């Protein structure tokens, strides 16, 4: 295996040869291992709110694999739906449950505060 600290750019071109393909596979395996380490490290800290962009998480990764039950996790896994050709991007926000997080309709809240009526 190559140096895990010197991974190719995730936006690099599709593999063209057998060696490129093996390097491509190695990169994603190592990235998956680094992802697990990263989330384990983040979840072990005592943060109230954790916000992560460019998560690149597929929908089949269960949130409980990433965070324990102290956090309520809101996430959006861009590009991983069945009608998409490739996965990518995505974000998540993990908020400690003791803070009583909830989902708000932000546009509605802004409209009420500003007096503007949206259709």
Q: C-alpha distances in angstroms, 81 versus 86, 94, 99?
A: 9, 22, 31
Which token pair is 100?
């009583």
Percent of the chain surpassing pLDDT 70: 50
pLDDT at 16: 61
Tell me the C-alpha distance between 63 and 55, whole Å: 12
Mean pLDDT for 40-60 is 77
Residue 26 has pLDDT above 50, yes or no: no
What's the average model confidence in pLDDT over 18-44?
A: 58
CA distances from 108 to 75, 100, 105, 113 (A): 21, 20, 5, 9
Q: What percent of the chain has pLDDT over 90?
A: 0
Q: Give the model's pLDDT for residue 100.
A: 84
Q: How far is CA 67 from CA 18, 49, 90, in A?
A: 37, 12, 16
Between 8 and 36, name the one with better pLDDT.
36
Our measurement of the distance from residue 97's CA atom to the centroid of its chain's CA atoms, rounded to an integer in Å, reads 19
Bridge pairing between strands 91-96 and 49-53: antiparallel
User: Which of the given ranges, 43-47, 66-70, 85-89, has the highest pLDDT on average?
Assistant: 66-70
21 within 8 A of 8, measured Cβ to Cβ = no
Mean pLDDT to the nearest integer, 35-47: 70
- Max mean pLDDT among 3-17, 23-37, 78-92 falls in 78-92
Q: Read off the pTM.
A: 0.52
């Amino acid at each position: 295996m190559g140096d895990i600290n010197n991974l190719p750019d995730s936006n690099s071109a599709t593999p063209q040869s057998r060696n490129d393909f093996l390097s491509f596979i190695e990169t994603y395996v190592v990235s998956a291992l680094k992802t697990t380490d990263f989330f384990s490290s983040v979840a072990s800290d005592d943060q109230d709110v954790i916000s992560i962009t460019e998560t690149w998480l597929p929908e089949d990764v269960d949130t409980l694999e990433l965070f324990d039950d102290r956090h309520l996790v809101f996430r959006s896994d861009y590009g991983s739906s069945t009608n998409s050709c490739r996965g990518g991007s995505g974000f998540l926000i993990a908020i400690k449950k003791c803070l009583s997080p909830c989902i708000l309709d932000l546009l509605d809240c802004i409209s009420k505060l500003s007096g503007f009526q949206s259709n």
